[in-house]
């Protein structure tokens, strides 16, 4: 593959640029227009019968707001709701332990619960020891793809010395997920410590937390925590008396689901039009400002301090199969016990739905569950005994995704859900691939016709063809995820779909 420069790279000018008018036009919320708006995300869609007026308001709004991270109280409007219950169901509370105990927003609270011990330990040995611990842990990325974290870190660590970056993906755009939001709001130093450890391991000197605009409180809390960490000498020059220097800042997004995709996210920080880019080259080699860059999800990074203090083997002892450790899950408002829960990989989806979530509210009958959606396969009731694991869920056309768990009851008709998901898909497409840019809107329209009783068998055939094109030709997981969702629906819910196409 020939080397080509990033479209934005100006040598020696690694500074985010102000947004031009063209770049601004890509975003839905360039002026943070979400304030005070009702949410139109999939968890709110699933819960629209609890408050039809709010849903009507959300559906009529422009620009659309797709997730406020309040899925536990959906349908949602603004960050004024009580906080969700937080509990640890795994043997160790690796990511939610501190939050379940009340949180640690300040440096003093974080240190009192063992915070920054991992960094102290890491600095007593070469960076290789941190890399080896992350390798041994079997940790896989929590942002959706499940890529082995140790392998990604080594790919950056082995790049020639020079400017390198660490970026935390705090875009959390998947409707139904509010995990990263509370990790940042209630335990910000855990993310900061995880990022410093990552930077030490790979040799990076600068980091960004790419934070979605819809989480304004997280931005306030993180900036206060960064100032505390800087004052305490955990950020800046020659940290802990070592040769290692690293600083970190928050970059606030402008409203775009696809900016959660890593190449889009990096272009966004640079101030360029954030269309997805083909890989290779991978960000580990040529990422932010064309420099080697480590991009990890918030929960992935928050897992690292525990791994460094307790050892990679202790982490790998948790979980099952190729999915080691624990996973945070956020359950939507259709459950009797919506909330934020940490579980060990290997529990069944049934256990999550019936034991942890307590089944559905108001005696609702489960129609299906999306884990890590909306652009992921739906799990029908007859497959609830599938264990939570990357390969195990992929085998039934579903996935772990980001860990948001959205249940649907009999109030949701499956054709309406397809129309909703493809409407979201079309709205958030970056526009680079034709089947995603035009095809997703076409599927939405065909389902609108189907719901109005105006669709034919030929229209259903066209849907199948568009889904195949999305699956085969999409450049990123947005298009392939839409295809995965549609395939699961066509496979598991034919009795709801086929009668709509006459
Ligand atoms: C359309 C799209 C949206 C994504 N959104 C997010 C997101 O909000 N947060 C996230 O961590 N990863 C998201 N990802 C995955 C990232 O591209 C990337 O794989 C991830 O941040 C890598 O971190 P990890 O290895 O720790 O999972 C998204 C991917 C796609 C295709
Ligand atoms: S699949 Fe969609 S979002 Fe992804 S690159 Fe193609 S057009 Fe952009």
Q: What is the pLDDT of residues 239-260, one digit of tens each?
A: 988 999 999 999 999 999 999 9
Counted residue by residue, the chain has a size of 502
Ligand 1 proximity of 5 Cβ (cutoff 6 Å): no
Q: How far apart are CA 448 and CA 440, in angstroms?
A: 12
The answer to whether 103 and 363 have CB atoms below 8 angstroms apart is no
Query: Could you tell me the distance, in angstroms and rounded to a whole number, from the CA of residue 4 to the centre of ligand 2?
Result: 21
- 32 or 100: which carries more pLDDT confidence? 100
Q: Alpha carbon of 454 to those of 228, 448, 449, 462: distances in Å?
A: 61, 9, 5, 14
Write the pLDDT tens digit of every residue in 218-231: 999 999 999 999 99
Ligand 1 proximity of 147 Cβ (cutoff 6 Å): yes
Q: What is the pLDDT of residue 118?
A: 98
Residue 470: name the closest of 441, 500, 449 by CA: 441
Among 431, 443, 470, the mutation site with the greatest number of ligand 2 atoms within 8 A of its Cβ is 431
Q: Which tokens hold the place of 395? A: 């085998």
Q: What is the pLDDT of residue 230?
A: 97
Q: What is the pLDDT of residue 4?
A: 42
9 pLDDT above the threshold of 80: no
CATH class of residue range 414-500: mainly alpha
Determine the atom of ligand 1 nearest the C-alpha atom of 258.
Answer: 1
Write the pLDDT tens digit of every residue in 309-352: 999 999 999 999 999 999 999 999 999 999 999 999 999 999 99
Orientation angle between helical segments 188-202 and 216-231, nearest 10 degrees: 60
Write the pLDDT tens digit of every residue in 76-133: 987 666 789 999 999 999 999 999 999 999 999 999 999 999 999 999 999 999 999 9
The answer to whether 296 and 141 have CB atoms below 8 angstroms apart is yes
357 pLDDT above the threshold of 80: yes
Ligand 1 proximity of 150 Cβ (cutoff 6 Å): no
Averaged pLDDT of the chain = 94
Residue 193: name the closest of 134, 256, 275, 107 by CA: 107
Give the predicted TM-score (pTM) of the model.
0.96
Write the pLDDT tens digit of every residue in 429-480: 999 999 999 999 999 999 999 999 999 999 999 999 999 999 999 999 999 9
Among 433, 439, 466, 482, the mutation site with the greatest number of ligand 2 atoms within 8 A of its Cβ is 433
Query: Could you tell me the distance, in angstroms and rounded to a whole number, from the CA of residue 466 to the centre of ligand 1?
Result: 24
- 108 or 32: which carries more pLDDT confidence? 108
Ligand 1 proximity of 141 Cβ (cutoff 6 Å): yes
pLDDT-derived band at 13 (thresholds 50, 70, 90) equals low
Query: Could you tell me the distance, in angstroms and rounded to a whole number, from the CA of residue 470 to the centre of ligand 2?
Result: 9
pLDDT-derived band at 8 (thresholds 50, 70, 90) equals very low
33 pLDDT above the threshold of 90: no
Ligand 2 proximity of 431 Cβ (cutoff 6 Å): yes
Query: Could you tell me the distance, in angstroms and rounded to a whole number, from the CA of residue 261 to the centre of ligand 2?
Result: 10
Q: What is the pLDDT of residue 134?
A: 98
Q: Which tokens hold the place of 203? A: 């040799």
Nearest ligand to the C-alpha atom of residue 297 = 1
Among 42, 143, 295, the mutation site with the greatest number of ligand 1 atoms within 8 A of its Cβ is 143
Nearest ligand to the C-alpha atom of residue 276 = 2
Which CATH number is 319-408 given?
3.10.20.600
Q: Alpha carbon of 161 to those of 150, 195, 243, 440, 460: distances in Å?
A: 19, 18, 14, 43, 54
Residue 166: name the closest of 147, 193, 189, 188 by CA: 193
* Residue nearest (by alpha carbon) to ligand 1 atom 20: 143
5 pLDDT above the threshold of 50: no
* Residue nearest (by alpha carbon) to ligand 1 atom 2: 261
Ligand 1 proximity of 327 Cβ (cutoff 6 Å): no
The answer to whether 369 and 357 have CB atoms below 8 angstroms apart is no
- Percentage of the chain exceeding pLDDT 70: 97
Write the pLDDT tens digit of every residue in 127-177: 999 999 999 999 999 999 999 999 999 999 999 999 999 999 999 999 899
Residue with tokens 């309040």: 70
Residue 258: name the closest of 482, 483, 32 by CA: 482
Nearest ligand to the C-alpha atom of residue 260 = 1
* Residue nearest (by alpha carbon) to ligand 2 atom 8: 430
Determine the atom of ligand 2 nearest the C-alpha atom of 480.
Answer: 1
Cα 166–100–145 angle (5° rounding)?
40
297 pLDDT above the threshold of 90: yes
Query: Could you tell me the distance, in angstroms and rounded to a whole number, from the CA of residue 400 to the centre of ligand 1?
Result: 12
Q: How far apart are CA 378 and CA 368, in angstroms?
A: 6
Residue with tokens 């083997």: 313
Residue with tokens 């580990």: 284
Q: What is the pLDDT of residue 235?
A: 97
Query: Could you tell me the distance, in angstroms and rounded to a whole number, from the CA of residue 113 to the centre of ligand 1?
Result: 29
Q: Average pLDDT in the 348-359 region? A: 98
The answer to whether 175 and 66 have CB atoms below 8 angstroms apart is yes
Residue spans of the domains in the chain: they are 37-74, 103-316, 319-408, 414-500
* Residue nearest (by alpha carbon) to ligand 2 atom 4: 476
Residue 428: name the closest of 419, 417, 439, 437 by CA: 437
Residue 259: name the closest of 6, 473, 497, 476 by CA: 476
- Percentage of the chain exceeding pLDDT 90: 92
Ligand 2 proximity of 269 Cβ (cutoff 6 Å): no
Least confident range from 13-27, 148-162, 171-185: namely: 13-27
Q: Which tokens hold the place of 142? A: 């929590």
Which CATH number is 103-316 given?
3.40.50.11540
């Amino acid at each position: 593959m020939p080397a080509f420069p990033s479209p934005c790279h100006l040598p020696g000018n690694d500074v985010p640029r102000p947004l031009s008018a063209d770049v601004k036009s890509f975003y839905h919320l360039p002026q943070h227009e979400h304030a005070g708006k009702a949410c139109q995300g999939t968890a709110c869609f699933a819960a629209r019968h609890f408050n039809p007026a709010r849903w009507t308001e959300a559906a009529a709004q422009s620009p659309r707001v797709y997730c406020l991270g309040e899925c536990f109280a959906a349908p949602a409007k603004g960050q004024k709701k009580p906080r969700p219950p937080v509990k640890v169901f795994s043997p160790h509370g690796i990511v939610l332990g501190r939050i379940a105990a009340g949180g640690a927003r300040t440096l003093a609270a974080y240190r009192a619960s063992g915070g920054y011990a991992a960094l102290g330990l890491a600095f007593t040995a070469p960076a290789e020891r941190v890399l080896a611990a992350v390798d041994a842990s079997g940790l896989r990325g929590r942002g959706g793809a499940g890529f082995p974290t140790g392998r990604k870190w080594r790919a950056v660590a082995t790049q020639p010395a020079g400017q390198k970056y660490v970026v935390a993906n705090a875009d959390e755009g998947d409707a139904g997920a509010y995990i990263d939001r509370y990790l940042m709001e209630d335990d910000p130093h855990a993310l900061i410590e995880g990022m410093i450890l990552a930077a030490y391991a790979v040799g990076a000197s600068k980091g960004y937390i790419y934070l979605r605009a819809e989480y304004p409180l997280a931005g306030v809390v993180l900036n206060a925590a960064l100032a505390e960490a800087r004052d305490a000498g955990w950020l800046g020059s020659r940290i802990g008396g070592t040769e290692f220097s690293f600083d970190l800042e928050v970059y606030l997004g402008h409203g775009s689901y696809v900016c959660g995709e890593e190449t889009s996210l990096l272009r966004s920080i640079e101030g360029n039009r954030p269309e997805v880019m083909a890989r290779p080259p991978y960000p580990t080699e040529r990422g932010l400002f064309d420099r080697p860059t480590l991009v990890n999800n918030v929960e992935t990074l928050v897992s690292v301090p525990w791994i460094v203090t307790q050892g990679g083997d202790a982490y790998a002892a948790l979980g099952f199969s190729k999915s080691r450790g624990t996973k945070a899950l956020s359950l939507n408002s259709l459950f009797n016990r919506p909330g934020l829960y940490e579980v060990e990989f290997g529990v069944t989806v049934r256990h999550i739905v019936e034991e942890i979530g307590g089944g559905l509210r108001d005696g609702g009958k489960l129609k299906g569950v999306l884990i890590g959606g909306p652009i992921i396969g739906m799990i029908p009731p007859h497959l609830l005994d599938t264990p939570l694991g990357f390969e195990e869920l992929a085998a039934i056309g579903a996935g772990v995704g980001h860990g948001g768990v959205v249940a649907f009851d009999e109030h949701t008709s499956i054709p309406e859900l397809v129309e909703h998901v493809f409407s979201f898909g079309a709205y958030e497409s970056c526009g680079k691939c034709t089947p995603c840019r035009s095809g997703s809107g076409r599927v939405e329209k065909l389902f609108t016709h189907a719901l109005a009783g105006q669709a034919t068998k030929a229209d259903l055939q066209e849907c199948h063809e568009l889904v195949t094109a999305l699956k085969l030709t999409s450049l990123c997981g947005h298009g392939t995820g839409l295809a995965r969702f549609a395939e699961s629906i066509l496979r598991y819910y034919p009795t709801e779909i086929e009668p709509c196409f006459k």
